[in-house]
Structure 1
């Protein structure tokens, strides 16, 4: 969910030397190039998944990974097909970040 703290967790991993790939950013890049006039980002994402498969965003993200990247966080996995693709590519650990909306953005920090 938006605001749950995914980017905070990613930052902890980044500080420890991990590569961070924000999945929505990969799709946004594609949206800028291929979005239809007046098409919302959400509609574009749905159209891409319908056209190319539910793992399209994961495939776009893998284009950002280099051979020397050994420790990678894929921030923002949306469906099981993306998880399955990552599992076929390498050892995969799923970390769910969840916070109730009632907490809001109170500035909690992981150290």
Structure 2
């Protein structure tokens, strides 16, 4: 259980930083104390369902988005491996990777015209 609490805290930290929010700002938006947000992000506090919902609302994301990538299914194929790698990167890195992939596909399409 402690591993899940830690992973959830890390995911909340990633989402908060992607939104450009400080812990104080997320605390205000979610109606939770700043110290509590910090403890959650460090995996020191186990969130209740109600607090998790408040955090999701404060982040402007769904609960599904909060849990996405926390415990991915068995990684077998290449697409799953790419997803796993990108899930741990900041938004800017994911956007850059998507642009690179699109550019490669566009180049490939033009090559065979």
TM-score (norm 1): 0.27
Computing the radius of gyration over CA atoms, which structure comes out larger, 1 or 2? 2
Q: Which has the higher contact order (CA 8 A, sep 6+)?
A: 1
* Structure (1/2) with the larger strand percentage: 1
